């Protein structure tokens, strides 16, 4: 889709407004990644980068009751929605929101002050290599990063899959990601592929429901309907080709400065 076209852009946000998540992920995966993160010490400072509507931010606040969390996104409506859900969940005192670019965090946070950087389905906006390089100075000596990254799971993904990811030339296999983590000065604490239900139940089911609701509003052949069809195609692609791609949770600590 073309974000420069106001009609397509508006359709995209009509589709994505008030969804529980903006990408694959779920609570069991968050808990598994937190196990790999390990102990964080007293009153840890946490960033959730590219937080979207913040379902995982709220779960982090529940799981890390001593932490103060800054949830960062460029899309203010997601941050507003996160504020509302955090209040409803009784964790708003633990979460600050910040409208900022993930590529400019050095102007918001001092070096060596962050104990955990969390980022689900968002680091690809910078590219894994750049994210690992630019976020490292923010981390305290015991600092960790836990992020999910889109990966190829087979050596021969079909064209319909590679076309879907052509905007992300950095997309690689898991072994290449592991190598990049290590070359970027981190020690990998563990990794795992997100399970199917993190896509189908947590992300695509509410999205498909929204598409059904909007189907009658978007005229067939219109730019809006084109955006809707692209979303249907994305869901169909996952149903058909999920053995070829997925999201990998990568959990790491700094190995050198």
Ligand X SMILES: C[S@@+](CC[C@H](N)C(=O)[O-])C[C@H]1O[C@@H](n2cnc3c(N)ncnc32)[C@H](O)[C@@H]1O
Give the residues lining the site for ligand X (CB under 6 A): 21-23, 25, 50-52, 56, 72-75, 78, 101-103, 120-122, 125
From the CB of 41, what's the least distance to ligand X, in Å?
24
* 3-class secondary structure, 206: helix
Measured from the CB atom, the residue of 18 and 179 that comes closer to ligand X is 18
Size of the chain, expressed as the number of residues it contains: 257
Measured from the CB atom, the residue of 23 and 170 that comes closer to ligand X is 23
From the CB of 253, what's the least distance to ligand X, in Å?
21
From the CB of 42, what's the least distance to ligand X, in Å?
26
Measured from the CB atom, the residue of 25 and 223 that comes closer to ligand X is 25
Interaxial angle between packed helices 174-183 and 128-135, expressed in degrees from 0 to 180 and rounded to the nearest 10: 30
Alpha-carbon distance of 56 to 116, in angstroms, equals 14
By beta carbon distance, the residue nearest ligand X is 52
- Mention every residue, 6+ apart, whose C-beta is less than 8 A from residue 53: 18, 19, 20, 21, 22, 78, 81, 82, 85
- Mention every residue, 6+ apart, whose C-beta is less than 8 A from residue 114: 45, 46, 47, 138, 139, 140, 143
From the CB of 148, what's the least distance to ligand X, in Å?
8
Alpha-carbon distance of 233 to 238, in angstroms, equals 9
Measured from the CB atom, the residue of 39 and 55 that comes closer to ligand X is 55
From the CB of 14, what's the least distance to ligand X, in Å?
15
Measured from the CB atom, the residue of 60 and 254 that comes closer to ligand X is 60
From the CB of 21, what's the least distance to ligand X, in Å?
4
Alpha-carbon distance of 156 to 162, in angstroms, equals 10
Measured from the CB atom, the residue of 124 and 186 that comes closer to ligand X is 124
From the CB of 38, what's the least distance to ligand X, in Å?
22
Burial (CB count within 10 angstroms: exposed 0-12, middle 13-18, buried 19+), residue 181: buried
Measured from the CB atom, the residue of 127 and 142 that comes closer to ligand X is 127
- Please list, residue by residue across 45-74, b when 16 or more beta carbons sit within 10 angstroms of its beta carbon and e when fewer do: bbbbbbbbbbbbbbbbbeebeebebbbbbe
């Amino acid at each position: 889709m073309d974000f420069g076209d106001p009609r397509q852009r508006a359709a995209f946000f009509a589709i994505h407004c008030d969804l529980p998540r903006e990408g694959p992920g779920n609570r069991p995966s968050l808990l598994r990644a937190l196990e790999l993160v390990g102990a964080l010490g007293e009153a840890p400072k946490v960033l959730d980068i590219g937080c979207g509507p913040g379902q995982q931010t709220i779960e982090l606040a529940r799981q890390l009751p001593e932490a103060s969390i800054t949830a960062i996104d460029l899309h203010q409506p997601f941050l507003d929605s996160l504020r509302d859900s955090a209040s409803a969940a009784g964790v708003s005192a633990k979460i600050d929101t910040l409208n900022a670019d993930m590529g400019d965090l050095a102007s918001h946070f001092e070096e060596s002050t962050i104990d955990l950087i969390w980022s689900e389905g968002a680091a690809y906006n910078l590219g894994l290599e750049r994210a690992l390089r630019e976020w490292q100075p923010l981390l305290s000596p015991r600092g960790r990063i836990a992020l999910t990254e889109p990966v190829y799971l087979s050596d021969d993904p079909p064209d319909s899959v590679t076309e879907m990811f052509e905007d992300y030339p950095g997309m690689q296999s898991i072994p290449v990601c592991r190598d990049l983590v290590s070359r970027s000065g981190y020690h990998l604490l563990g990794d795992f592929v997100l399970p199917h239900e993190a896509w189908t139940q947590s992300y695509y089911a509410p999205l498909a429901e929204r598409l059904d609701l909007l189907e009658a509003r978007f005229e067939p052949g219109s730019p809006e309907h084109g955006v809707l069809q692209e979303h249907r195609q994305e869901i169909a692609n996952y149903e058909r080709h999920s053995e070829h791609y997925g999201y990998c949770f990568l959990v790491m600590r700094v190995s050198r400065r």
